[in-house]
Amino acid sequence: MQRVDLGMKNDRGDIELAGVCKSFDGVTNVVDGVNLRIADGAYCCFIGPSGCGKTTILRMIAGHEDPTAGEIVIGGQNVVGLAPVQRRTAMMFQSYALFPHLTVRENIAFALRVRGQSKTDRLRAADAMIEKVRLTQFADRLPAQLSGGQQQRVALARAAITEPRVLLLDEPLSALDEQLRVQMRQELRRMQQELGITFIHVTHTQLEAIALADLVVVMEQGKIKQAGAARDVYAHPHDRYVAEFMGGQNVLSGRVEKVNGASFTLAQAAPDGIEVPLQARPAVSVGDKVDIAVRRDDVALVRPGRDLPPGCTTSLPSRVLAIEYQGYFVKVMLDTVPDDEFVAYVPEKTFFADPFTVGDVVTATWATGSALPLA
Amino acid sequence: MQPSPAPSRSNLAGWLYVSPLVLVLVPFFVAPILVVLAASFFATDGFGGLTPGFTLASYVEVLHSALTLKLYLATIKFTVLTWVFTLIIGFFVAYFLVFHVRNQLLAIGLFLLCTVPFWTSNIIRMISWIPLLGKEGLINQALLAMGVIHQPLEVLLFSDLAVVIAYVHQLTIFMIVPIFNSMARIDKKLIEAAIDAGASRFDIMRLIVVPMSKSGIALGTIFVVSIVMGDFFVVKVMSGGGSASVVSAFYEDVGVLQYPTAAASAVLLTLVLVAIVSLILRTVDIRQEITR
């Protein structure tokens, strides 16, 4: 095997995707002109519904798929056409793809074996890695004799043993049950910090993405909808798609009734319309159709006739459709807007101080500043 | 398991479950074997008449004969040669079908194509080698025309070579099918994971594909070995009577009404085959192949 990286050993794991496209049939682009920069040592999550192209991007970075167009640059070097080994990436496969006929130790040492390392060297390295993922007592077992969480650790160790500069994880937690998922999530983050390398993680679970990632990339139909810090993407979604996909937001649409300086008024079922601060959005003009987002936990519910809390100008008369107890908050579903879901997350204590029942008429309101215009 | 209030009834159900198999196995397998076993201990009057009794004379005769060893060596030679060639061809055909034919429909089509030779009878398939391998056959004529040889090659037909060719032709499918089966079950992601780890094609073959096809190879080996060792017809036809096998010897015995010796040879061969098969099963666990 040729050693291309000798002498120019480069440990930088920053990634740049420039105009990356992928088409399998020559007609439709599964990945459609993706541009993205991922910093060295970042934890990046790609998130989107199935078929949005996130796994294809991952596989292109890993070298298991070639882009139809565009460049993939890792550590300053265009890696398109290079084998995974030459890219110094490693992939952790969905459902792990552990070699069923090899023990844990042999699985983990596999990459070193095919690189021609001597048996003693590679087994020593594998044992060190096994210790790191806390599997010492399972080293001689076959994958089928391990639990899901243990298998995941073997997969992680197998991928990490070659000291890659980028580790690619394809839905690493989807095969686990809920409780284990939360636990393994932390373990992934711990490993990432310990190894100090770039992790790219594909998932369709919003909670997983925002819990782990430094950089969340929301995708739809082969395009990046929004990329940014977890909190940015969650609290300041760029458009209706991101707001709805990330959740936690109510999205309302309406026509601009009047524009008053730094804010505008959206015509809605509310008696006086909805006042929305312009914020970062470029100017709107009267008659434009605009989407806005209001966080579900920013919505306050007031019984009709009572005063609105300070700072609230909007009042939307609504009826309670359903109530779900969620523990530290109560999810109240309302018929506030005709076509869209409208939900308020009421803190548990507030709710039970004066509980509503299904069918109650309430006024939904929020502090004017918390309404967010969407693109 | 719950204690059954009527154990006799659950017993009956159990017997009903196995009865179809028993109904097939007892008359068609167990009974003939017992008949052969009994006959091997009987004495004979030399004209086909059997005297019930218990004598080991037939076994002594078979085991003392130098011919027996020679026949076993000849049979084992055919078996090993056939096994090697069917294994190599079968493995690579299966490998190609599973890993290189992307289109599944095409793979199934090609797979069915492998069975085309079986649409005609065994005899026709063997006879069809004659115009190809014979003294005036296509191969000899082509070689003569090209000037490679000046005398037709006699070794092509009615020789050990012809026997092995006919066996390989007949039995490769028995290797392809089980190996294809176990290879098709290898998750393609494993291959990708191996590539990701830096494995070459050869590494993947050596470390992933071969070990994971072991049960298929074992199953194919059992088929091929037991068919070749239990055959006499191919040897007889393709060697032109020049070679013999274990079975052809006791076929001759039957022809001259030496039933007890024939039976003793048959029992001996069965024991040898049982030993070989259990050796194979000991090295490779084929249970996963059968249960899954």
In a domain, B248, yes or no: yes
Q: Tell me if B199 and A114 make a contact (CB, 8 A cut-off).
A: yes
Residues sharing a CB contact under 8 Å with residue A237, sequence separation 6 or more, in sequence order: A226, A243, A246, A249, A293, A372, A374
In a domain, A176, yes or no: yes
In a domain, B193, yes or no: yes
Cβ(B176)–Cβ(B243) below 8 Å: no
Q: Tell me if A91 and B193 make a contact (CB, 8 A cut-off).
A: yes
Residues A229 and A281 in one domain: no
Residues A349 and A278 in one domain: yes
Residue B212 near chain A (CB below 8 Å): yes
Could you say which residues of chain A have pLDDT below 70? 1-9, 269-271, 280
Q: Tell me if A110 and B200 make a contact (CB, 8 A cut-off).
A: no
In a domain, B14, yes or no: no
Residues A228 and A255 in one domain: no
pLDDT at position A271 is 66
In a domain, B18, yes or no: no
pLDDT at position A9 is 56
Residues A231 and A279 in one domain: no
Residues A311 and A189 in one domain: no
DSSP β-bridge partners for residue A73: A16, A78
Residues A103 and A230 in one domain: yes
> Alpha-carbon distance A107 to A135, whole Å?
13
Residues A129 and A229 in one domain: yes
In a domain, A49, yes or no: yes
The torsion defined by the Cα of B202, B205, B211 and B214, in degrees rounded to 10, comes to -130
Residues A283 and A222 in one domain: no
In a domain, A358, yes or no: yes
Q: Give the best residue of A93, A96, A114 to mutate against chain B (max B CB count within 10 A).
A: A114
ipTM of the complex: 0.82
Lateral strand order in the sheet of A289-295: A274-277, A263-266, A249-260, A289-295, A372-373
Residue B288 near chain A (CB below 8 Å): no
Q: Give the best residue of A86, A110, A167 to mutate against chain B (max B CB count within 10 A).
A: A110
Over residues A58-108, the pLDDT tens digits come to 999 999 999 999 999 999 999 999 999 999 999 999 889 999 999 999 999
Residues A187 and A87 in one domain: yes
In a domain, B151, yes or no: yes
Q: Tell me if B207 and A158 make a contact (CB, 8 A cut-off).
A: no
DSSP letter for B155, please. T
DSSP letter for B158, please. S
Residues A140 and A192 in one domain: yes
* DSSP codes of every residue in A331-359: EEEE--SSSS-EEEEEEHHHHHHS---TT
In a domain, A117, yes or no: yes
The chain-wide mean pLDDT, for chain A, equals 89
Q: Tell me if A110 and B211 make a contact (CB, 8 A cut-off).
A: no
In a domain, A9, yes or no: no
Residues A103 and A219 in one domain: yes
- Other beta carbons within 10 angstroms of residue A260's beta carbon come to 10
> Alpha-carbon distance A235 to B197, whole Å?
39
pLDDT at position A269 is 61
For residue A211, give how far its alpha carbon lies from the nearest alpha carbon of chain B (Å). 27
Cβ(A227)–Cβ(A43) below 8 Å: no
In a domain, B165, yes or no: yes
In a domain, A36, yes or no: yes
CATH number at residue B185: 1.10.3720.10
Domain that holds residue A30: 15-235
Nearest CA in chain A to B185: A100
In a domain, B39, yes or no: no
pLDDT truncated to tens, each residue of chain B (292 aa)? 455 455 567 788 888 999 999 999 999 999 999 999 998 998 887 777 788 888 888 899 888 888 889 999 999 999 999 999 999 999 999 999 999 888 888 988 888 888 887 788 888 888 888 888 888 888 888 888 888 888 888 778 888 888 999 999 889 999 999 999 999 999 999 999 999 999 999 999 999 999 999 999 999 999 999 999 999 888 888 888 778 888 888 888 888 888 888 999 999 999 999 999 999 998 887 776 665 5
- Computed on alpha carbons and rounded to an integer, the radius of gyration of chain A in Å comes to 25
For residue B214, give how far its alpha carbon lies from the nearest alpha carbon of chain A (Å). 11
**Both tokens of residue A137?**
């007592």
How many domains are there within chain A?
2
Residues sharing a CB contact under 8 Å with residue A214, sequence separation 6 or more, in sequence order: A39, A42, A43, A44, A229, A230
How many domains are there within chain B?
1
Q: Tell me if A158 and B190 make a contact (CB, 8 A cut-off).
A: no
Q: Tell me if A99 and B197 make a contact (CB, 8 A cut-off).
A: no
Picking from A180, A214, A235, the residue at the C-terminal end of a domain is A235
Q: Tell me if A110 and B197 make a contact (CB, 8 A cut-off).
A: yes
Domain that holds residue B150: 66-291
Picking from A208, A235, A262, the residue at the C-terminal end of a domain is A235
In a domain, A181, yes or no: yes
pLDDT at position A6 is 42
For residue A114, give how far its alpha carbon lies from the nearest alpha carbon of chain B (Å). 5
**Both tokens of residue B197?**
């780890």
Picking from A235, A258, A286, the residue at the C-terminal end of a domain is A235
Determine what percent of chain A is predicted with pLDDT higher than 90: 66
In a domain, A6, yes or no: no
CATH number at residue A94: 3.40.50.300
In a domain, B169, yes or no: yes
Q: Tell me if B198 and A97 make a contact (CB, 8 A cut-off).
A: no
Q: Give the best residue of B183, B196, B207, B217 to mutate against chain A (max A CB count within 10 A).
A: B196
Q: What angle (nearest 5°) sits at the alpha carbon of residue A88, between those of residues B198 and A194?
A: 115
A305-330 burial, b if ≥16 CB within 10 A, otherwise e? eeeeeeebbbbbebebeebeeeeebb
pLDDT at position B5 is 52
Residues A213 and A85 in one domain: yes
Partners of B198 on chain A (C-beta within 8 Å) are 1, 83-85, 111, 114-115, 162
